[in-house]
Amino acid sequence: MATISTRLVNSSIRKLRLVVCGVAKRRLYQTVSAARHISGIGGENKQKFIPTALQPRYFQTSSALQEVVQFKLSDIGEGIREVIIKEWYVSEGDKVSQFDSICEVQSDKASVTITSRYDGIIKKLHYDVDGTALVGEPLVDIETEGAISHKQEEDVEVDISSKEQRLEDHAMQMTTSGRKVLATPAVRRLAMENKIHLKDVEGTGKDGRILKEDITRHIESLDHGVSAFTGKQVAPQAPISPPKADRAPAPTPIPILRAPAPVGKDYTQPIKGMQKAMVKTMSMALKIPHFGYYDEIDVTTLVNLRKDLKKVTEKRGIKFSYMPVFIKAASLALNQFPVLNSSIDDKVENVIVKASHNIGVAMDTADGLTVPNIKNVQSQSIFELAAELNRLQQLGSAGKLGTAELTGGTFTLSNIGSIGGTYARPVILPPEVAIGAIGRIQAVPRFDRDGNVRKAHIMQVSWSADHRIIDGATMARFSNLWKMYLENPTTMILDLK
Ligand code: CAO
């Protein structure tokens, strides 16, 4: 049972809103209210009616008002059944408030921040970092005040649709003993790592928001035995732990042996996150009979044109690479060869030709290979494509690509040339049926029409297509048209809509 405030929040909340609206809302309200009076909630029947996010489980504690609530990982959609715990933002014994970040999880599709639905004290973390958490299973136990938690739950039942904005607005808030503390998860983490209570720190940001500098100042003042907040002498603190990065385990000394000595030690690492997604997708791709087609393209004119366009887009704050042109040219060519923008149904009986050109871009990120896609390329200008690619790259490098960006692709381009290389053998991303890998643009000598040697900018492309439905001639004709647009980029103007 968990509240989600990330890229997936909108879709999750929409789903909850759908369930909770109208008659269904009243029915849920009654069902949950009734369920509250039954001990050991979680029977089969109730599971059918109550979404995970609305299924509390109470344990009576010594105080009549206190309860330990099992905070379960809710269904985050897209068929995601398990996630990896990337980072805990809380420890056992920590005080949390509604909307405080609890942890960061990584599914095979996206990275998600899980936030608390309760005010209370963390009693138990159910997983270690890198552990696999299952949807519907407890994530943390939180000791809450019974009366408060009931109230919170009623809020969710009757008002969950209006929480969409509140989730965003309040995600960074934390309420502690009477004083409202505003701090980002990063600041809270810094405080936690240094065993600092946020309520002891004076925030100098907007509305008293606690900034990193405030924590640093507080730590310095503690070093001098004075509270930066109250100005009073404080008791000596336990030694402040260094930042995480400085706490790397000491390197294992390499044993000195007579030659030949082993260079290192084998080690095992789990396949998880994006790698896990790659295992799944590529194993499916292996079932597709791939047809390969390769060509070289003279992009000399495009190289010069880009220099001019780049100056213009930079003034508009957008970085302009070759990719937006490659993507637009692909879409224009797909207009003529729509079968390359299709998928085959599960029974392999029909080809579904897609109306939208949602062109995927293979992206190399710190977390590994991922393929966000640009939606409806057919109706976007090259500048709009550049802006969208900039956005996707920013999200990719921050590890924040969400389900919206990562699903629904219909055709893919992989610009391996931005790293290096000439040819590649791209693997189709199911359920798509074609993919192109682009090599590095290189200045090389070529003959002109008069037989004179000139400097040309040459780029290789390697296509893979699903040979069950795409024949070589179709692939070659598509590639010829794409090549024509790139070798004569101004002709694209004629076909732009
Ligand atoms: N040849 C020559 N130069 C190239 C190039 C190519 N094929 N592709 C990109 N460049 C240039 C760009 O024009 C840009 O130059 P400037 O700095 O002068 O503007 C520079 O290299 C950096 O480009 P970029 O990588 O930031 O942007 P991009 O739009 O060209 O590519 C993206 C975006 C996401 C495709 C790329 O960053 C990337 O991740 N590529 C790797 C894809 C990959 O891993 N494929 C393998 C998949 S299978 O495992």
CATH number of the domain where residue 218 is located:
4.10.320.10
In a domain, 13, yes or no: yes
Last residue of a domain, one of 123, 145, 167: 145
My answer on whether 219 and 319 are in the same domain is no
Examine the domain organization and report whether 329 and 421 are in the same domain: yes
Residue 24's domain comprises 2-64+153-176
From 159, 169, 223, 471, the catalytic residue: 471
Q: What is the pLDDT of residue 471?
A: 97
Q: Which of 278, 397, 415 has most ligand 1 atoms within 8 Å of CB, for mutation?
A: 415
The dihedral of CA 226, 231, 234, 239: what is its sign? Answer: negative
Residues 276 and 166: their CA atoms lie apart, in Å, by 34
Contact 359, 371 (CB under 8 A): no
Confidence tier at 51 by pLDDT (50, 70, 90): very low
Give the count of domains, the chain: 4
pTM for this predicted structure: 0.60
Same domain, 212 and 109: no
Residue 27 pLDDT: 33
170 flagged as catalytic: no
Residue 18 binned pLDDT confidence (cut-offs 50, 70, 90): very low
pLDDT at 3 over 70: no
Question: The tokens of 374 are what?
Answer: 């640009």
**What pLDDT was estimated at residue 83?**
86
What tokens does 26 get? 């009243």
Q: Which residues contact 166 (CB under 8 A, 6 or more apart)?
A: 99
198 and 337 part of one domain: no
Instruction: Supply the pLDDT for residue 180.
Output: 63
Judge whether 171 lies within some domain: yes
| Token pair recorded at residue 332 | 């224009």
Considering the domain boundaries, does residue 263 fall inside one?
no
pLDDT: is 313 or 230 the higher one?
313
Q: Does the annotation mark 266 as catalytic?
A: no
With 50 as the cut, is the pLDDT of residue 52 above it? Answer: no
Q: Whose CA is nearest to atom 25 of ligand 1?
A: 418
Q: How far apart are CA 96 and CA 144, in angstroms?
A: 10
Q: How far apart are CA 415 and CA 433, in angstroms?
A: 18
Cα(458) to centroid(ligand 1), Å? 15
The 10s digit of each residue's pLDDT in 180-229 is 678 777 788 788 878 888 888 888 887 788 888 888 888 877 766 554 44
The answer to whether residues 395 and 457 belong to one domain is: yes
Higher-pLDDT residue of 48 and 351 is 351
Query: What pLDDT score does 257 carry?
Result: 63
Per-residue pLDDT, 97: 85
Q: Do 412 and 357 share a structural domain?
A: yes
Would residue 51 count as lying in a domain?
Answer: yes
Give bridge partners of residue 411 from the DSSP assignment.
Answer: 359
Percentage of the residues of the chain whose pLDDT score is greater than 70: 73
Q: Is the pLDDT of residue 54 over 50?
A: no
Q: Are residues 337 and 402 in the same domain?
A: yes
Which CATH number goes with the domain that contains 84? 2.40.50.100
Residue 379 has pLDDT above 80, yes or no: yes
Residue 59: predicted pLDDT:
36
| Amino acid present at 292 | G
Whether the CB-CB separation of 152 and 159 falls below 8 Å is answered with no
**pLDDT at residue 410 tops 50:** yes
Q: Is 441 in the pocket of ligand 1 (CB under 6 A)?
A: yes
